[in-house]
Amino acid sequence: MAFGGKVLALAGGVGGARMAAGLARALPAGALTVAVNVGDDFDHLGLHVAPDLDTVTYTLAGINNPAQGWGIAGETTAFMGALKRLGGPDWFLLGDQDMATHVLRTLRLKAGESLSAITADFARRLGITTRIVPMSDDPVRSIVDTDEGTLPFQDYFVRRQCIPRFHGIRFDGLETARPSAGLVAALRDPDLSAIIICPSNPILSIWPILGVSGVHAALSTASAPVIAVSPFIGAKAVKGPAGKIFAELNLDPSPAGLLSCYDGLVDGLVMDHADADRAGNCGDVALRVTDILMRDGADQEHLALEILDFAAGLRAGTGGRDG
Amino acid sequence: MAFGGKVLALAGGVGGARMAAGLARALPAGALTVAVNVGDDFDHLGLHVAPDLDTVTYTLAGINNPAQGWGIAGETTAFMGALKRLGGPDWFLLGDQDMATHVLRTLRLKAGESLSAITADFARRLGITTRIVPMSDDPVRSIVDTDEGTLPFQDYFVRRQCIPRFHGIRFDGLETARPSAGLVAALRDPDLSAIIICPSNPILSIWPILGVSGVHAALSTASAPVIAVSPFIGAKAVKGPAGKIFAELNLDPSPAGLLSCYDGLVDGLVMDHADADRAGNCGDVALRVTDILMRDGADQEHLALEILDFAAGLRAGTGGRDG
C-alpha cells in the first residue's frame, strides 16, 4: 500500500542525501520536502558554498559521485590545479562543474534572490521534482569549539579533518534565523504524515535545523510522527565524525545516546540489527530494527519503504517496540 | 649586437601578446615592460575578467593556446557545461583553469589589492620575468557605439561577434584613470630606448592606453623612438575586426590610415612586404618593411629583433624610410 500524505525530511549531507533519495523514490511525486542544514555554508574564494544543499541536490538529480557521497560524478579538478599554481587556497576542493553552482548561486544571491528560490530553480533545471528547501534563508554559521580554539565549521571539518577534539558547537545567526517559507509550508501542511530525521550527524547537521525559530516547537506538537534514523551501525558512524564527536562529548553511540540529542522530539527510532542489543533506555520511543546501510539506490528505497511503513503504523497507533 | 636599454610595449590581446613574447625572448631579462589595455575588462558572473591582461600573461608564461591565441593550452570546459545546465549565461567562454585567474583576482581586488599587484604576483608565480602592468589600476570600460546602440565592449566583441556596424567608441572612466605605477616607471626610466605599439587593434586596444592621463604627452615628448607595428597584412587584419572597423569608419587599412589613428605620436612604422605599395602619405615617419606575420615563437623573436634593430637605427639617427 502506498504511503498517504506528505513527508518532511530533515537532512545534512551525504547520509541525509541518500535517505532523501530513497524517500523520493518511495513516495509519489510532490509528497516529499527535504529541509537541509545550511550551518556549514561558508564564504570561500568570494563564493557562497552550501555543501549540504549541493549534496542533496546532486544526489536527488542522480548526478552525484556515489562512491564519495558528495560532489558530481566524473568531476574534474582543472580549476583547483590552476588555483594552486596561482597561490590560491587549495584546502577545500571545488570541482570544475561544482564551481558553476557556487558562482551562479553567489551571483543570484547578490542580485537579491533568496537561497530558497535559487535552490528551487537549480533543482528544477536538474529535473528534480522533490522540494529541496534550505532550513532558512537567513545566514547561519556553525562554529566548533575545540581544543585548538573555535573553528569555523569547514576549518574544523575539511581543513583540520575533524582532528581537533570537539568541545561544543554554536550556530551564529541561528537565534534570529527564520525558517524558510518551504519549511514552514511543510510543517503546516495538514497532510503532513511523517517527519523524518535523516541519518545525518545529529550534532553537526540536525541541531542547526532544530534550532531554527519554531522548528523545535512544530516538531514537539506535530500530529505526524517524528522518526529518527540512526547514523550508527554497530555503535560506529556509517560516515563522518559522529562517533568521534560522541566519544569526545561522553555520549554513548547507542540508540539512547542518539535520542538524548533529540530532546524528547522523537516518536520512533529506526536502527540497525547490529545495535539491537544496545537498545535499552529508549523510554516510550518506538523502535524499528532493520538493515539501515544504504549501499545503493535499491537499499535507499528499501529503507525508505521500511520507514514509511513504520510511520504509518505509528500514525495508526499500531507501532511500537519491536527491538 | 644586443639591444641596449629598456623597452616599453603597449599591448592589447592576441597580437600584442605575441609581439610581447617575441620581445621578451629578444631582450635581456628585466629590459621589457608590457603595458596592457584594460578597457575590455568586465564584470562577468560577479568576477573581474581581464581578457587582454590574461592573454599577455598566459602567452608570456608559455601556457597559452597557440592556435587560438587566447586561453590556456589544453583548457577544459566542464564549468561552462555545468553553468549552462543551471541556466547561467554561456556566451562568454571561461575555461576551467582560466576560472582560477578570475576567481582569485576578484577575491584579491575585493580585499583591496591593486590590479597591478595581483598581475605581478600571478606573473611571478607563472615564472614570467617580464614586467606586465595594466595601463591603469582605475576602472576603464570601453563602450562601443553601433547601429544596434551602445554596447559594453564584450557584448560587442564576443556576444555579438563584432557584427553590429561600428560607429565609435568611448572609454568610461578614462578621463580620471591614472596610469599604473609600473607604466609611469617605464615611461620615466632614463634608460627607456624604445616604445613599441604592438600590432593590436589601434582603436579597441591602443586608444585606451594612449588615453590614460599623461601617456599621450609622455610618448609625444619621449626621447626614445615610438615604433608602431602594423596589425595589417595586405590591407587585411591578421586577426580580429580591425579591417571591418576601419571600413565602417571610412579609414584606409594602409600605413597612412593606421598612422592617422596614432595622432602624430609614431616615429617609425613596421609593416609587411604585402603593404609596401600602399606606403604613401606617411610623412616623416620612418618605415621598416619586413615579414610581420607571427606564426610561432621563432617568427615572434625574429620580428622583435628586426624592430629592435629599427629602433636602434632611429635612435642613432640612421633610420628612415626603406619602403
Residues on chain B bordering chain A, Cβ-to-Cβ distance under 8 angstroms: 45-47, 72, 75-76, 78-83, 85-88, 95-101, 103-104, 106-107, 110, 121-122, 125-126
Contacts of B45 in chain A (CB under 8 A): 103-104, 107
- Range B167-193 average pLDDT: 98
Whether the pLDDT of residue B23 is over 60: the answer is: yes
The pLDDT value given to residue B3: 82
Q: What span, in angstroms and rounded, lies between the C-alpha atoms of B286 and B7?
A: 19
Residue B55: its pLDDT value, please? 98
Residues near A32 by Cβ (< 8 Å), separated by ≥ 6?
Answer: A6, A7, A8, A9, A20, A23, A24, A130, A131
Q: What are phi and psi of B33, to 5 degrees?
A: -120, 135
- Residue A323's pLDDT band, with cuts at 50, 70 and 90, is very low
Question: Distance (Å) from the C-alpha of residue A230 to the closest C-alpha of chain B?
Answer: 34
B125 with A87: Cβ contact below 8 A: yes
**Confidence class of residue A1 from pLDDT cuts 50, 70 and 90?**
low
Within 8 A of B99 by CB-CB distance, chain A residues are 79, 82, 96, 99
Kind and range of the H or E run holding A271:
strand A268-272
The sign one gets for the Cα dihedral B312, B313, B314, B317 is: positive
Q: Which amino acid is at B78?
A: A
Residue B316: the pLDDT is: 87
Cα angle at A303 between A297 and A306, to 5 degrees?
145
Q: Which positions in chain B touch A100 (Cβ < 8 Å)?
A: 79-80, 82-83, 85-86, 88
Per-residue b/e over B173-190, b at no fewer than 16 CB within 10 Å?
ebeebebbebbbbbbeee
Spell out which chain A residues touch chain B, with contact meaning CB-CB distance below 8 angstroms: 45-47, 72, 75-76, 78-83, 85-88, 95-101, 103-104, 106-107, 110, 121-122, 125-126
B88 vs A99: CB contact, 8 Å cut-off? Answer: no
Residue A152 is classified by DSSP as E
Residue of B nearest to A87 (CA): B125
Q: Delineate the domains of chain A, giving CATH numbers in brackets.
A: 6-222+237-263 (3.40.50)
**Locus of grid cell 565592449:** B153
In the predicted model, is pLDDT for residue A320 greater than 80?
Answer: no
Between chains, do A46 and B103 touch, taking CB under 8 Å as contact? yes
What ipTM describes this predicted complex?
0.95
Q: What is the pLDDT of residue B321?
A: 47
DSSP classification of residue B91 = S
**For A164-215, what is each residue's pLDDT tens digit?**
999 999 999 999 999 999 999 999 999 999 999 999 999 999 999 999 999 9
Give, in degrees to the nearest 5, the angle at Cα A175 between A172 and A181: 105
CB contact at 8 A, A308 and A7: yes
What is the per-residue pLDDT for B1? 54
Q: State whether A45 and B97 contact (CB < 8 Å).
A: no
CB spacing of B107 vs A82 below 8 angstroms? no
